[in-house]
Structure 1
Amino acid sequence: MKTINTKTLAMAFASLFLFSCERNADQDLVEPMQVNQQSELVGYDPSTCNLVQSMGTGALPRHVNLIEEDGLIMTVTAQRRGHNGKYLPATEGLLLDPRDPATDLTNPFDAQMLGMFGGILTVPDETGTKANRDGGRVIMDFAPVGVVTMKTMVFTDVAAEDKGSKVELYSRNGQLLHQREIPTGAKNSAVIVSFGNIPGVAKAIVTFGDERSKVGSGAIARLQLCVDGQGRYDETRYRAVHTLWLEYTGEQPANVTVKSVQEGNSGDVLFEAKGMKPGTAFKIAGSQANPLVNPLGELLEIRTQRGEKQLIPVNADHNASLKKRYGSFRVIEARCSDYPLKLEE
């Protein structure tokens, strides 16, 4: 898991912060972190297409059921967890001011260094005006834009008593693509969680506190992602493909085996699944440490128990590009660098 506790960044950014203060001493005051869209923002991924961190405009606190920012549109609902462990009826999410001490979810250092200049998204309590402390979840639905590739989320105030907090990412068919526990930190501190490019995400559910617990709080301060079809795409395979996300599109469940093929000889089994349901997405990945050695081989060979065989070229080839579909398998995303490859129809 790639996480960064912002306390470890204090010394690294102290001199930069002091220099910035001296440089701007004779200038008009500006809002903090005006570089929020650039690489100077702590934890910023330069391959991000859509950066969501102000959570819209308007007075804070306020309720929200739709967030639109930087090319992303998502619907938002929230649910408090009842004393019996079941979730109460859905409500709107709550946006709080991270710089208001009454919010009690952030500290001034993290708010400054992570560019929390807008609202932070959380579960409202029974009054609807403060963050819920008894466990709950925020549901973000990306249906208005289709699906996204999830890169990074920033959370705040997931403390020791909130252990068991998690993020779940789902496909448009309801398949759980990825689940990640959110690391805990000091009260009011922030943590950056990197997902390493998970495409095809239609819905994200953030749960605060272990679902068997009657406590749990926290907030979402930033999303970094790419809406499907947006952002930069590499035109050619100048290096071997190191990551592929595929979706099985057949009509019946199938046993699926994926092997690497090198110089005409089948190599290792890279993936195997029995009874794969239509609409299931899966990932094939090799090491990026040495671009000259491709553990995926020259080709990927996909077979099913029905005799279907598909070959997907994954070697470096300037003159060819991958297709969007190979028989009963759709290529969701392919990468030979930090950016997804452009796919042929």
Structure 2
Amino acid sequence: MSAATGRATLATGARRDARRARRATRPRASAPSGVDDGAVSIRRRPPNGPSKHDLGVGQFEFVIEEVAPTGERVTNENNKPKNILEEIVWYKDVELAERKEKFPLQLVRTALVNAPPTRDFVKAITDQLAATKQPGLIAEVKKASPSKGVIQPNFDPVKIAKAYEEGGAACLSVLTDEKFFQGGFENLALIREAGVTCPLLCKEFIVDAYQIYLARKYGADAILLIAAVLPNQDLKYFIKIAHSLGMKCLIEVHTYGEMKRVLDGDFPIDLLGINNRDLGTFEVSLSVTTDLMNGPLGEEVKRRGITMVGESGIFTIDDVNLLQDSGVGAVLVGESLVKQDTPDVGIKKLFGRPV
């Protein structure tokens, strides 16, 4: 071994030891005492019914008035969404009603006859992990987000997707929500028709089986299912539909309770993702993933051979290494890549590869 190689090896070992030391100083994720039972935290609909008008963020608010004991008309606070995810879910009822009227499920299913065959989303990730010894990359195609507004003003989904593929992404995640992320199902079709070969994840807030068929019609190879929104009964049903269409499912959790509930469910798990973003505050911390993966649930997923996906807050090679050391086999990265003019170069820098 040369002196230079020896120094590089020592430096790599020092960085690994430093990451392990940082993890050791944080409390390990464990079952909270009577706090986090993993129950669905997002209310499916406004408890007192929706009211649509032209006020508020995104020109949509849920405001129902009630009469106070004094006779004064006041806003019913219980009918306001608790966080942005709840507001997105509430709006889906309005959006889906309009979409189903224009494109009924029967027509969607008829259109599936001509849909191209699916590509194996999970295998693309595991193959890249085996080949590179680094987590497989799911690169996200999105124009905007509720927390950051417009991220990429010169948004061209096909151009971005091709750059991701050239940069070495294993799979792509395509935002299809129109109102809050300025995306669309059409972007799935545009990317696929342009010859991009990476498997595509439909990044949609799924609350209805109709959305799964729609995702497949537009060329998706996988879908996202959010445990904060969906009880296990719905997860099982939606997974069965997705698998019948040849698609894989990425189940997303945010807390210990959600992760335990999903692992205890009687349904197959293709991919399990941990989102590092707090739904209420939008704060992001990689410790959400590392704490869970270095606790008893992390040991279970490793024993069962479930491929884990780290989501949100991944900006540097140190972030990638930290998650990989915790047992993560894939990372879903959006903002840090899509806002760059050369996202292919951004991918190489993110993974410490030659530019």
Do the structures match in fold with TM over 0.5? Answer: no
Give the helix-richer structure, 1 or 2. Answer: 2
TM-score category (smaller protein):
under 0.3
Larger-gyration structure (1/2): 1
TM-score, with length taken from structure 1: 0.26
Greater RCO structure (CA 8 Å; 6+ sep): 2
Give the strand-richer structure, 1 or 2. Answer: 1
